[in-house]
Structure 1
Amino acid sequence: MNITKNIKSTAKKVLQEEAAAILQLADYINDDFQGCVEAILAIKGRVVVTGIGKSANIAAKIVATLNSTGTPALFMHAADAIHGDLGMIQANDFVICLSKSGNTPEIKVLVPLLKRKGTQLAALVSNVDSYLAQQSDFVLNATIEREACPNNLAPTTSTTAHLALGDALAVCLLESRNFSREDFGALHPGGSLGKRLYLKVGDIYTLNAAPKVKTDASLKEIIIEISSKRLGATAVLDNSGNLTGIITDGDLRRMLSNFDNLTGITAADIMTPSPLTIDCGEYAVEALVTMQKKNITQLIVTKEGSFEGFVHLHDLLKEGLV
C-alpha cells in the first residue's frame, strides 16, 4: 500500500467535498437570510450565538467575527444556557442557534425558553425540517449531502458550511453598516494587524533625519549628506525648495561607472528625477507595498507636495509591518 499516495488523495478529496458544499450554500441564500440580516440591523441589543458540541466552537468563532466587524455579539453555550446563562439574553437581543440536526435534546429545551423571552431567533441548521428550524423566525440553510468523514459521522463538512455561512452573514452586516477600514482598525489596535490598519507614514518618518541637497551641490556635499544622515539617500531640491530628484548610494556607484572625470559633477548630473514619493497622511503599509513592488528601501515623504523627509524599510521592520 502506498500510504503517502492515500494521504494526499484523501486530503484532496476532503477539500474538494467541503469546497463543493460551500458553493452549494449560494443556492440557499434566500429571503430568510436577507430577513435575518435586516432584523439584526434593526435591533438595539446584541447578537447572541449559541450551539452545543462542535457547533458551539463554530458559534464562538462567528461571535468573534461579528464583534470585530461592528456587530456586538456574545457567545452562549447551549448547555450552560439552561443552567443559568440564559440570563445574559436581554429583551432587545437577537439569538442565532447553530445545530447540524436541529433536534438535539439541549436545543429542544432551550428553544421554548428563548421564545418565552420574546427573543427573535434564527436557526443556522443543516436540517431545515428540524424542530429548531420549525420554531425559528429565520432559517439559515446550511444543508450538506454528507460529512467529509468517511463514516459520515465526524462534523467536518457541516461545521465548515456553518462557518462559511456565518462569515457571509458577518460581511453582509459589515457592508450594510458601511463599516470602514478605519472602523476595523479602531477595533484591532494591537499587534502588526492593528498597525497595518492605523499606522501612518506621518507617525514614523519624523524619527529620521531629512537629508537634502541643492541641485548644484558638489559631489563632496552629496556624499557627506548621505553619510551623515545614514539613510542611504538624499533628496535634491531646487533653489525654491521644490523636490526635483533623489540620489541614492546606488546612484553614486553608477556615477563611478558613467563618468571618467568627477570634477565639477553636481547633484543635477547624477540624480534620478521625479522620484517616487508618499504623502505623510498615507498608511505606512502603503509605503511597504510600494517599496516591495519597486524593490527599493526608502521613500521620500511629502506633505501637500513639499519635501518632508524619508521613510525607510527599517522603520517598517521595527514597527512589525514586515
Structure 2
Amino acid sequence: MNLVNNIALTAKKVLTAEADAIARIAEFIDESFERCVEAILQSKGRVVVTGIGKSANIATKIVATLNSTGTPALFMHAADAIHGDLGMIQPDDFVICISKSGNTPEIKVLVPLLKRKGSKLAAMVSSTDSYLAQSADFILNANVEREACPHNLAPTTSTTTALALGDALAVSLLEARGFSSSDFAHLHPGGSLGKRLYLMVGDIYGYNQAPNVNENASLKEIIIEISSKRLGATAVVKDGSKELVGIITDGDLRRMLNKYDSTEGIKASDIMTPSPLTIEPEQYAAEALAIMQEKSITQLIVTKSGIFEGFVHLHDLLKEGLV
C-alpha cells in the first residue's frame, strides 16, 4: 500500500472512530443531563466552564457557543483558578468542569474550593467513577472507550465528544429559553450572518433612485426614465396615483421591438409586465435576495400596501455582503 493510501486510511479511521464515539454518547443523555439543564435555567448567575490542557480549549469553545445562544458564560482555566482566578466566580454561578480522567491534581484541588463557595457543579467526564464525577452535583457523561490516536494517548476522540456534548447542552438551553433567530441577531450584529438576521429592505432601498411612469406614459418617457435612473427598469403606476400596476425592464423594451412593427402610439400599459414581484420595507433583505436568486432577476419593487416606494437592487445586497 502506498503512502497516499495509508494517509487516506488513517484519516478515515479517525473520522469513523470519532463519529462512532459521538453516536455512543447520545445514549448517555439521561436524567442527570436533564437536571443539569434545568439547574442552569434556574440559576441567577453565569455558567463558568473550566478545564486544563486540551479540555481548557474545548471549554473556551463551549463558552463561546453558550454566550452566542443566550446563556451568559465565561471561561476559567483550572490551573489559574487555584492561583487567584477563583475570585471571578460569584455565589449564583454554575460551574461545568471538563476532564477526561476527572482525577488530575488541579481538579482535585479546585473541586473542594468550588464546593466551599456553594457553586453547583457539573462534571463533563469520561470516567464516571472519578473524583470529579463523584463530587459533582450533575454528571455529563462523555465516556470514550479509546482515543483515535493509535497510541491511545493524544486527546482526540475525548475532546471531540466533549465538544459535541457541549453543543447538545447549549442547544438544549437555547430551545428551553425559546431563544429565537431575532435574539440570535441581536448577539451577532457583525458580518454577513448578522446582516442576514437583522438588515431590512427599508434600511437600504431609500438610497436608490425610484424610476416610475404612469400607465399612459409614452415610449419616449419610458426610455428616458429607465436611462436616467440607471436601474434597468421602471415601475408603472396608475395615472394620478402611486398605486403599482406593473414593471417595464430593458428586456421588455427589446421584446417590444420584436412584437410590434411600429412603436408609434405605444404606451406603458401595452408593454409592462402586470402584477410584478414586490417586497415590503419591513421584510428582511435576505428575503429579497432569495426572491432574486429564485427568479433570476436583479431588482425588486418595494411597496407599502400596493403603493410604490422604490427599488431594491442586487447590487445593494452585494454591497452589504449578503451575497
Q: Which portions of structure 1, spanning 4 or more consecutive aligned residues, are displaced by more than 4 angstroms?
A: none
Post-superposition shift, 1:262?
Answer: 1.9
Q: 202-211 or 258-267: which moved more?
A: 258-267
Distance in 2 (alpha carbons) for counterparts of 1:206 and 1:146: 60
Post-superposition shift, 1:312?
Answer: 0.5
Distance in 1 (alpha carbons) for counterparts of 2:40 and 2:223: 63
Change (3 A) 1:300 1:109: same
Distance in 2 (alpha carbons) for counterparts of 1:204 and 1:88: 44
Distance in 1 (alpha carbons) for counterparts of 2:100 and 2:294: 46
Matches within 5 A, 1:116-195: 116-195=116-195
Distance in 1 (alpha carbons) for counterparts of 2:300 and 2:155: 51
Change (3 A) 1:261 1:11: farther
Q: 50-59 or 270-279: which moved more?
A: 270-279
Matches within 5 A, 1:63-102: 63-102=63-102
* 1:317 corresponding residue in structure 2: 318
CA deviation digits over 1:239-283, x for unaligned, max 9? 343212111112222222232322222222222222111110011
Distance in 2 (alpha carbons) for counterparts of 1:244 and 1:9: 63
SS in 2 for 1:155: coil
CA deviation digits over 1:108-140, x for unaligned, max 9? 111111111111000111111211111100001
Distance in 2 (alpha carbons) for counterparts of 1:7 and 1:246: 59
- State the aligned residue count: 322
Question: Normalising by the residue count of structure 2, what TM-score does the alignment of the two structures yield?
Answer: 0.96
SS in 2 for 1:216: coil
Post-superposition shift, 1:293?
Answer: 1.6
CA RMSD after TM alignment: 1.4
Post-superposition shift, 1:170?
Answer: 0.8
Post-superposition shift, 1:19?
Answer: 1.8
* 2:276 corresponding residue in structure 1: 275
Change (3 A) 1:122 1:250: same
SS in 2 for 1:92: coil
* 1:24 corresponding residue in structure 2: 24
Distance in 2 (alpha carbons) for counterparts of 1:22 and 1:273: 55
Post-superposition shift, 1:144?
Answer: 1.8
Change (3 A) 1:37 1:273: same
Distance in 2 (alpha carbons) for counterparts of 1:108 and 1:102: 8
Change (3 A) 1:256 1:13: farther
Matches within 5 A, 1:184-263: 184-239=184-239, 240-263=241-264
**Percent same amino acid among aligned pairs?**
76
Change (3 A) 1:163 1:220: same
Matches within 5 A, 1:294-305: 294-305=295-306
Post-superposition shift, 1:43?
Answer: 0.9
Distance in 2 (alpha carbons) for counterparts of 1:76 and 1:244: 62
* 1:266 corresponding residue in structure 2: 267
SS in 2 for 1:45: coil
Structure 1 residues not aligned, in runs of 5+: none
Distance in 1 (alpha carbons) for counterparts of 2:255 and 2:2: 58
Distance in 2 (alpha carbons) for counterparts of 1:97 and 1:172: 18
Change (3 A) 1:111 1:233: same
- Is 1:52 aligned to 2:52, yes or no? yes
Distance in 2 (alpha carbons) for counterparts of 1:128 and 1:84: 28
CA deviation digits over 1:35-91, x for unaligned, max 9? 011101111111000000111001001111111111111100001001110111110
Aligned partner letter, 2:322: L
